[in-house]
Amino acid sequence: MSAEPSLAPSTAPSAWAPLRIAAYRSLWLALLASNIGTWMQTVGAQWLLVEQSGSDTLVAVVQTASTLPIVLLALPSGALADTLDRRRLLIAVQGFLVGVGTLLTVLTLAGRMPATLLLTLTFALGAGQALTAPAWQAVIPELVPRPQLASASALGAISMNLARAVGPAVAGVLIARTGAGVVFGLNTLTFAVFVLALWRWHPPAAGMADAPERFGAAVRAGGRYVRHSPVVRRILLRAALFLVPGSALWALLPLVASRRLGLGSGGYGILLGAVGVGAVAGALLLPRLRARWSVNRLLSVAGAVFAVVLVALGTARSETVVVVALLPAGVAWVMVLSSVNATMQLFLPNWVRARGLAVYQMIFAGAQAAGALAWGALSDASGLVVAHLAAAALMAAGVLTMRWWPLRDTSGMNQEPAVFWPEPHLELDPEDHDGPVLVTVSYPVSPAHEQAFVEAMEAVRRTRLRTGAARWGLFRDGEEPDRFVEAYLVPSWDEHRRQHTGRLTGTDRAAEERAQALADGPPRVTHLLSAR
């Protein structure tokens, strides 16, 4: 039975259901505190640079410095989350963030925080967040039952956007009264709170059928899965087409506040708070909207709304108009990202979930980092109006591409594990690291079914490459023309053994059965081991 969400309108469970689970509730509240601290940190760093430098590009680079580590470390972070104890990994990373935050706080309070050091420490905090995100996303299925995963994703959006509403406003008040150093200190305290919540959580010990994957092999396997999954690639494309132009709002808002509207840090916090309030409202409205609209229609409407908001921000001269425009911006932001994240999390098989979500985080951060740098540079060269209008035009163009590149319908796909390959019986006894392994599968196919068989094997090709094969080919026997031979190369025996024991899904099984139904008999499988 498929557990995947349809792209058609459907009812959605309450967003609050997972909070009835004590362990999830405790960690969610701690993460909410950490998210609030992160937004306070971002506002503090941006405002400190506004006061020190006055450079549009340098202010925008704060967002780049905080998100670039996710681009660089996302896939390794996902591999770590899939191979190490996730609770211990999260505790260690939060301890590192406490150390970085303490250094940032002390030096800022002492008046020894030049722009280059501020951006360096911001980058270090971003590295910690890069290690945190995939591990936390992968922990969620351990905390809540699968039917509540979509609700947990919505709660994640509510957490981030409550933080976006509260953090900037609190930071603005504190910066105006006490300075950025106190804001940095409170952010450091939130990391310690998250450590305490993780320390108190004791997940049940679960025996593992397989030893953890080697780190390098795990990274490569995650990359192969994403590369050969059309569904995942389309999800990532839709996210990028929204985030690149959408990042203009976050990158240029401090400049709109300070230069055009003449606001101080408190006023800037109010503007960000307006986006956050809209985002919280969007998270609460999302179940109703998804019951009425398909996901693709929801993404199109949200993108169009965001484009109009960017035009308003580029041309408005009134604080009231800007605040009003930022409310639907928050709604549109959470509509897109919550929908895309939930679709991604529900589609990914468990064995590669952390790595797949890490790649999503990489696109999420990379699109914003590149976009922020580009919009800041364009604003430096041509002004705020031109930068906002260019971003709005790019957002509108992205909405138009929905006609050709919509999210794929996964309602008929079964991503539950399917162990259906027979155990291989070899005379040789290979070690796990031995490889490569060449697997051949021979199929007798009558001339009447040849074309249909070749077409059906295309889905099998993607299955092999997603689950471990580095190379794949389909050949015809020159001596027996009615025999087709599938050959695929797997990097190691361990990698192939994992194909037998848990990487395949119900959808993979259906693809194999469609191809085998066109053959005139059962396939014959051989395993060729490296002679070296």
For 368-417, how does the pLDDT look when each residue is reduced to its tens digit (9 = 90+)? 878 988 998 999 999 999 999 999 999 999 999 999 999 988 877 888 88
∠ Cα 226 228 233 (to 5°): 55
pLDDT at 335: 87
Strand 483-490, strand 471-476: pairing: antiparallel
Task: Show the tokens assigned to 319.
Answer: 């604080």
Task: Please enumerate, as own/partner, the contacts of 115-119 that have beta carbons within 8 Å and a separation of 24 or more.
Answer: 115/49, 115/52, 115/53, 115/58, 118/45, 118/48, 118/49, 119/61, 119/62, 119/65
Q: Phi/psi of residue 472, each to 5°?
A: -150, 145
Closest CA to 336 of 307, 377, 372: 307
Side chain identity at 357, as an amino acid letter?
Answer: L
Distance, in Å, from the CA atom of 378 to the CA atom of 387, rounded to the nearest integer, reads 6
DSSP classification of residue 503: I
pLDDT at 302: 96
What's the pLDDT tens digit per position in 274-304?
Answer: 887 888 788 778 878 878 889 899 999 999 9
Pick out the chain residues at pLDDT < 70. 1-15, 51-57, 60, 63, 146, 150, 161, 165, 205-211, 265
∠ Cα 252 314 325 (to 5°): 90
Closest CA to 293 of 347, 330, 335, 328: 335
Adjacent-strand bridge partners of 484: 443, 476
Q: Rounded to an integer, what is the distance from CA 21 to the centroid of its chain?
A: 24
- Neighbour count for residue 404 (Cβ, 10 Å): 6
Side chain identity at 201, as an amino acid letter?
Answer: W
- Per-residue exposure over 3-30, b if at least 16 CB sit within 10 Å of its own CB, e if not: ebbebeeeebeebebbbebebbebbbeb
- Neighbour count for residue 205 (Cβ, 10 Å): 5
Distance, in Å, from the CA atom of 289 to the CA atom of 339, rounded to the nearest integer, reads 11
pLDDT at 196: 93
- Say if residue 47 is exposed, middle or buried (CB neighbours under 10 Å; 0-12, 13-18, 19+): buried
Cβ atoms 505, 522 nearer than 8 A? no
Q: Residue ranges of the alpha helices (H) in 256-316?
A: 265-292, 295-315
Taking each continuous run of H as one helix and of E as one strand, the counts in the chain are 16, 4
Closest CA to 338 of 163, 156, 165, 162: 156
- Per-residue exposure over 443-474, b if at least 16 CB sit within 10 Å of its own CB, e if not: bebeeebeeebeebbeebbbbbbbbbbbebeb
DSSP classification of residue 5: P
Q: What is the biggest distance separating any 2 CA atoms in the chain, rounded to whole angstroms?
A: 85
pLDDT at 5: 45
